[in-house]
Amino acid sequence: MTQTDNAGRLIWLTGPSGAGKSTIAKALRGRIADSGRRVEILDGDEIREVISPELGFSKEDRNIQIDRIGYIASLLTRNGVDVIVSAISPYRQSRDRAISRSSRSFEILVSAPLEVLIDRDTKGLYGKAIRGEITGLTGYDDPYEEPIGSHLRVDSHRLSLDEAVLLIEEFLTLEVANA
């Protein structure tokens, strides 16, 4: 058996703030754990707070953040742990580089229209951006580069949480069956 055969899966949830990445990640973690697999979540906000508190939100800093998450994910996946990354990861090049570090990786775009993101604004970021209190909010006044060839798109405004998790689970099951 090769190292790749034992590798955990990297499930990279990307999308703008408020799309539902963290919520989906937590529910998906529970389902994967219930199946007997080892699983961890790497949440962009938590990683920033604990590992990258010195980083700001410039493009360079965001790329460093994504590189760090990708490296940590690769360490876990090569040791048989499934990793769910929940991070905006706005720039395609750094996201692709981070994802490519793991041998069994799946990029999933979690998406919702801007109006829905503003309505869900639990962190108050869109409100601050609209009032001009902050700038550089991904998907509002800073670009979010959608994946060109993501493995799956989850339109969180059209699906319930259970439906979104089931869609991802079904996708992962098919990918394993076809591997």
What is the edge-to-edge ordering of all strands in the sheet holding 39-43?
39-43, 82-86, 10-14, 105-111, 152-155
Q: Which residue of the set 89, 94, 111, 150 is catalytic? A: 89
Backbone angles phi, psi at 67, to 5 degrees: -60, -45
Question: How crowded is residue 95: how many other Cβ atoms within 10 Å of its Cβ?
Answer: 26
Reply yes or no on whether 89 is catalytic.
yes
Structure tokens at 113: 């229209």
10's CB contacts (< 8 A; 6+ apart) are 73, 74, 77, 82, 83, 85, 99, 102, 104, 105, 106
Dihedral sign, Cα of residue 150, residue 154, residue 156, residue 162: negative
CB 102 within 8 A of CB 83: yes
- Catalytic residue set: 89
